Chains A and B, each alone.
Chain A
């Protein structure tokens, strides 16, 4: 349980004078759900980009996955090792059905199924898991936001990842839909997948995460259990605010 699956040391990314992420050390333990919170522009998404190496690489620092250094690898190589992610701005592949979209994950993920037909067969069960079986032959252009968010999740799952990075999969959903995703995330975690969640929906992230890391202006300001974070002075003054701390405190 305490094995470290993903670790960052002194991870730093600057854009000109701007310090998007500054000297961040982080550790993700195998089998946990780790929440990432902080205001927009705090560097959460930039950090995810660096883990997948989908943007210009980090300026300084090192990232390890299962002990192997990955910060110089190509995105597809990192994907092959068993790391997959979703995007904050959902990016389904247009001109394909929901099933075809998800089957790409099976075709090119860890399993590398060669045949497009088999990949689609394997994908069906994953669509069922995210409650999209009814919509498998619908072109992605015709899906609604909630369905696209789940499709995005299914696509990442089709790669059969050990580590799943979720960037705001609940943004823009209503409470019922959020609940659905929360349950799904917990279920995936029980199957043994390690999950990192970036989220603004405070209730959700406090509810599902075992640990939470708070970022502010590109720096890590706190790590701890949801309870510790809720009562952390620096987090309250920089991010949550007194009103929130009180309000949510009384709810709990």
Chain B
């Protein structure tokens, strides 16, 4: 326990020192990775803990981003009120969509959320007077020296990440988490045990949505330009799922570890082989799913030595039919 606290403290110190120690490029890159860590952790609450494959989770990101963009550029709002309203929009959407979609199971839910996300994207595209439609919208940027701007967004994302990790950690230990896990394991049995499954599923998705929406809002302010294809991009969710897979679904820190691994690889590939970038991402996804469907962490933790890791790897490559 004591060791864990020391490690966490050191990690925190390391992360706090980043903007002071590294160049702008690295700060922005790590901010980007932090953003994906938050998104993957948020997805993990509904998908990893509760077992609902929300492939349309970008709907909250897009709505958060657009709410902030519209309020700031058209409504004259400043960032923080816009951020709060974005969070509210995300939660309300999650509750409404949840009442409609969370009764679906498995693939049907996944497809339903994909359909809903696409529908919302098209609504935004069609509301041209408000959103400027498909050509995208600009947001008044944060003014200040590059170092201050970089630092602001870096610490904002870091704080958000810490917040969601604390939430996830609390959930993994309390009544709420038991309800989520029971629903994931067997919804029917959960209902019979007195768990109001509809209510807890909506809570899980709302928690996921609020963090995703806030992240979208920060993204809009940070990039100061957004368009529907980017902020509703399904591939982002796929990447989040790969991160969750790498790190281990339903764990607290898994998604963060996965985000750091995948985005680091992605960055290396992106800068070297620009033509092959997507192809290599595709290969990575295929490899991850094939060789470590239970996460990198399980590969390491279920065995003590190197030989066990190899054994686990080999087992995971055996045909599971």
| Complex contact flag A–B (Cβ < 8 Å) | yes
Point out residues on A near B: beta carbons under 8 Å: 52, 54, 74-76, 79-80, 84-85, 87, 91-96, 100, 103-105, 107-110, 112, 114-116, 119, 155, 159
B159 at the interface (CB under 8 A from A): no
Residue B197 lies at the interface, judged by CB distance under 8 Å to chain A: yes
The answer to whether A109 touches B178 (Cβ under 8 A) is: no
Beta-carbon contact of A93 and B189 below 8 Å: yes
- Other-chain contact of B193, A79, A95, A114, A115 (Cβ < 8 Å): A79
Chain A residues near B174 (CB-CB < 8 A): 116
Task: Looking at the assembled complex, report how far the CB atom of B299 sits from the nearest CB atom of chain A, in whole angstroms.
Answer: 17
Chain A residues contacting B197 (CB-CB under 8 Å) are 75-76
Per-residue contact bits, chain B 174-191, to A (CB 8 Å; 1 contact, 0 not): 110011011001101111
A85 CA / B192 CA spacing, docked (Å):
7
User: Which residue of A is nearest B177, CB measured?
Assistant: A116
Q: Does B250 contact A (CB under 8 A)?
A: yes
Q: Are A79 and B178 in contact (CB under 8 A)?
A: no
Cα–Cα distance between A112 and B194 once the two chains are bound (Å): 9
Assess whether B181 is in contact with A93, with CB atoms less than 8 Å apart: yes
Q: Which of B173, B188, B194 contacts A54 (CB 8 A)?
A: B188
Bound: A110/B194 CA distance, A: 8
Q: Does B195 contact A (CB under 8 A)?
A: yes
B78 to chain A, nearest CB (A): 39
In the complex where A116-B175, A116-B178 touch, is A52 in contact with B185 (Cβ < 8 A)? no
* Contact across chains for A76 and B181 when beta carbons are under 8 A apart: no
Q: Report Cα–Cα, A76/B250, bound state, in Å.
A: 24
Counting CB contacts under 8 A, is B196 at the interface? Answer: yes
Alpha-carbon distance A91/B191, docked complex (angstroms): 12
* 16 extra A-B contacts, CB within 8 A, seeds A76-B194, A92-B185: A54-B188, A75-B188, A75-B191, A84-B192, A85-B192, A87-B189, A91-B189, A93-B182, A93-B185, A93-B190, A104-B179, A105-B193, A107-B175, A107-B179, A110-B194, A116-B175
Known A93-B182, A95-B250, A103-B178; judge A109-B194 contact (CB<8 A): yes
A-B CB proximity, top 10 nearest = A75-B191, A79-B194, A108-B194, A93-B185, A91-B189, A76-B196, A91-B186, A108-B195, A109-B194, A54-B188
A-B contact pairs, 23 of them (CB 8 A): A52-B191, A74-B191, A75-B191, A75-B192, A79-B191, A79-B194, A84-B193, A84-B194, A87-B188, A91-B188, A93-B190, A104-B179, A104-B182, A108-B195, A109-B193, A109-B194, A110-B194, A114-B175, A116-B174, A116-B178, A119-B175, A159-B193, A159-B194
Q: Mark B45-89, 1 if CB is under 8 A from A, else 0.
A: 000000000000000000000000000000000000000000000
Size range of the interface on B? 20 to 34
Q: How far is the CA of A114 from the CA of B178 in the complex (A)?
A: 12
CB-CB < 8 A to A100: which residues of B?
Answer: 178
A95 touches which one: B175, B181, B189 (CB < 8 A)?
A: B181
Q: Which of A94, A100, A107, A155 has the largest count of B CB atoms less than 10 A from its CB?
A: A107
Closest B residue by C-beta to A77: B196
Q: What's the Cα separation between A92 and B185 when bound, in Å?
A: 8
Pick from B186, B192, B193, B198 the residue with the most CB of A within 10 Å. Answer: B192
Q: Contacts A76-B197, A116-B173 hold; do A107 and B191 have CB atoms under 8 A apart?
A: no
B147 CB, nearest partner CB in chain A, Å? 45
A115 to B197, CA, bound (A): 19
**With A and B bound together, what is the CA distance between A116 and B172 in angstroms?**
11
Q: State the Cβ distance, A39 to closest chain B Cβ, in Å.
A: 24
* C-alpha gap A75/B189 in the complex (Å): 9
Q: Which of B183-221 contact A (CB under 8 A)?
A: 185-186, 188-198
Cα–Cα distance between A87 and B188 once the two chains are bound (Å): 10
* B175 in contact with A74 (CB, 8 Å): no
| Given A76-B196, A91-B186, A116-B173; A107-B181 close (CB under 8 Å) | no
Minimum CB–CB distance for B143 against chain A, Å: 47
Given contacts A114-B175, A116-B175, A93 and B194 within 8 Å (CB-CB):
no
Bitwise, B217-231 to A at CB < 8 A (1) or not (0) is 000000000000000
Whether A80 pairs with B175 at a CB distance below 8 angstroms is no
A75–chain B nearest beta-carbon distance, Å? 3
Question: Which of B175, B188, B192 has a CB less than 8 Å from the CB of A115?
Answer: B175
Q: How far is the CA of A95 from the CA of B196 in the complex (A)?
A: 21
A84 proximity list for chain B (CB < 8 A): 192-194
* Contact A74 to B192, CB < 8 A, known contacts A95-B250, A107-B175, A116-B178: no
With a cutoff of 8 Å between Cβ atoms, the chain A residues found around residue B173 in the complex are: 116
Q: Given A93-B182, A116-B175, do A79 and B250 touch, yes or no (CB 8 Å)? A: no
B residues less than 8 Å from A103 (CB atoms): 178
